[in-house]
Every structure is written in structure tokens, then in C-alpha cells.
Chain A
Amino acid sequence: QVQLVQSGTEVKKPGASVKVSCKSSGNTLSDFFFHWVRQAPGQGLEWMGGVNPKNGDTNYPQKFQGRVTMTRDTSINTAYMELSSLTSDDTAVYFCARDLMRWGQGTLVIVSS
């Protein structure tokens, strides 16, 4: 049974960056498209982008371009999402999702001065 285990809660100041990890068990990152999705308090799900398993290429919606970086380390089956220039609007739970089928448990990121 594949599991995705994410890193723990982060508290950041405005303007800082945060890097969230997502470790996959069972299958390698090279076999599946890895997505990142966030959910602000009381809001819906928002697709932030993903990593193509074939070549590691990334795709981000325009909203996040220039501010988000998604990477992976296939040697340790771990995907990463780094978001920079944080504002209070980035306070949310961040999920990784393999092929948008199997989901991590979520990582709460709080941005507060």
C-alpha cells in the first residue's frame, strides 16, 4: 500500500520561504506524476503544479509561476515543494498527491508576523 508522508507544520514570517517534503513508500517518484495542492482555511482545493515523472519537468499555473519550485530526489523517493515570498494569503494546508489519486496527510503552513 503506497503511503505519502509529509513533513510537519511550519510557521513562517511574511517574506520568508517554506519547503515541504513528501516521502513516497512503495513506488518510486519516477513512475507517477506528483502534484501539489493547497487548501486555505475554509476554502477549496487549489492545484499548485506538478512534476512530470518521465523527465522531472514541472508545470505551474500562472498564479504561482516565479514563486513556487517543485523538485524531487528519486534516490530517497521524496518530492519537495518550495514557496517563496510568503504572505498571510499563503496560510494553508499543502498536500502532495501521486497522480491525484493517493494523497499525503497534508502540511499546515502558517504565515504570520
Chain B
Amino acid sequence: QSALSQPRSVFGSPGQSVTISCTGTSSDVGLSIYVSWYQQYPGKAPETLIYDATKRPSGVPDRFSGSKSGNTAFLTISGLQAEDEADYYCCAFAGRYTWVFGGGTKLTVL
């Protein structure tokens, strides 16, 4: 069970949009809609941004959106804000009640 592939880092300026990719295989990302995204600040627990590939929990700003195409999922953050600087992780259901995470992406707001 290999980790999903994410870019190690992405950069963006305030107000811009950034997209983070999460690439897996037909055995995980491509298997179902069960892909989620998390935001994590240093020393803190992850917080859920997106679940079921495109859904946002209540309280998550609509600046965060998720999509999926084939074996790749995407997290898009629009109207970038300084507070968005954090680590972002994807996670996918890999069948038989197993899950796999991506390696994580560090977002820097310039």
C-alpha cells in the first residue's frame, strides 16, 4: 500500500488560487468517491476540509473545493489568505476497509 503522490510544496500570493493534486491508482483514488482532504497547522491535529471528494463539512469556507478525475484528486483554494499557509493531506479509501494518505503538501503564501 503506497502513499498517494502529492507535490511537496506549492506557492501562491494572497487572492490567487492554488490547486494541489493527489495522484493514486485505480485501487485507491480511482476506486470510489471516498477521498478526503485535511489541513494541518504545526503542532495541531488535522482538520477536515473535504470529504467524499467534493463535499465540505459545515464551517469550512467555500474557498476550499475538491474534485476528482480518474486516479487523481484535486484540492483548490481560491482567494488565498495568509492563514491558509499550512500542510495539506489527501486520503483515499483503498478497499477492504483500508485507507491510504498522501505524503502531504506544504502551502506557502507569499
Within 8 A of B (CB), among A49-82: 50, 52, 57, 59, 61-63
Given the interface contacts A61-B1, A95-B46, A100-B48, does A44 sit within 8 Å of B103 by beta carbon? yes
* Cα-based distance from A59 to B100 in the complex (angstroms): 13
Query: Does B30 count as interface, using CB distance less than 8 angstroms?
Result: no
Q: Contact residues of B with A, CB < 8 Å?
A: 1, 3, 36, 38, 40, 45-48, 51, 57, 89, 91, 96-104
State the interface size on chain A (CB cutoff 8 A). Answer: 23
Q: Tell me the complex Cα distance, A105–B36, Å.
A: 19
Instruction: Out of B3, B47, B97, B98, name the residue touching A103 (CB < 8 Å).
Output: B47
A45-B91, A101-B51, A103-B46 given; A50·B101 CB < 8 A: no
- Min CB distance A84 to B, Å, is 21
Distance of A45 Cα from B51 Cα, bound (Å): 17
A38 to chain B, nearest CB (A): 10
CB closest chain-B residue, reference A4? B45
**What A residues does B38 contact at CB under 8 A?**
45
Known A101-B51, A105-B45; contact A45-B98, beta-carbon cutoff 8 A: no
With known contacts A35-B99, A37-B101, A47-B98, A100–B1 Cβ distance under 8 A: no
**A63 neighbours in B (Cβ, 8 Å):** 1
Which residues of the partner chain B approach A33 to less than 8 Å between Cβ atoms? 97
**Residues of chain B within 8 A of A44, CB atoms compared:** 3, 89, 101-104
Across-interface contacts of A35 in B (CB, < 8 A): 99
The 24 sampled A-B contact pairs (Cβ below 8 Å) are: A35-B99, A37-B101, A44-B3, A45-B38, A45-B46, A45-B89, A46-B101, A47-B99, A50-B99, A52-B97, A57-B97, A61-B98, A95-B46, A97-B46, A100-B36, A100-B48, A100-B51, A100-B91, A100-B99, A101-B48, A101-B51, A101-B57, A103-B45, A103-B48
Cα-based distance from A23 to B101 in the complex (angstroms): 24
